[in-house]
């Protein structure tokens, strides 16, 4: 999926502000609910931007693994790989 550059930039600002308020990270669903940005657009923003990274994985409500996204302030963090046990 692609989104317009204007929506992408707006989304980056919104997600950045949301994660600044929650330094422990947020799931895609939590970010979507707080920012009112569609999950499909958020996936593009989070996966394509080096400002954000996967801090850890948790079990979701439906037993599916959920990524916890956080700010990559130092640019030294890499995405946490999905554990085999999830």
- Comparing CA positions, the residue from 21, 8, 5 lying closest to residue 71 is 21
User: What's the domain range around 34?
Assistant: 5-71
Does residue 58 register a pLDDT over 70? yes
Phi-psi domain of 34 (left: phi exceeds 0; alpha: psi -120 through 50; beta: other): alpha
Q: How confident is the model at residue 86 (pLDDT cuts 50, 70, 90)?
A: low
On whether residue 42 sits in a domain, the answer given is yes
pTM here is: 0.87
Q: Model confidence over 16-57: pLDDT tens digits?
A: 999 999 999 999 999 999 999 999 999 999 999 999 999 999
What CATH number is given to the structural domain containing 49? 1.10.10
| Mean confidence (pLDDT) of the chain | 89
| Count of domains forming the chain | 1
């Amino acid at each position: 999926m692609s989104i317009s550059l204007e929506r992408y930039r707006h989304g980056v600002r919104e997600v950045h502000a949301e994660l600044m308020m929650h330094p422990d990270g947020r799931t895609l669903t939590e970010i979507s609910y707080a920012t009112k940005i569609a999950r499909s657009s958020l996936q593009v923003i989070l996966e394509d931007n080096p400002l954000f990274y996967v801090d850890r994985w948790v079990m979701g409500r439906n037993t599916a693994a959920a990524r916890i996204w956080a700010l990559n302030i130092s640019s030294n963090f890499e995405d946490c790989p999905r554990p085999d046990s999830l």
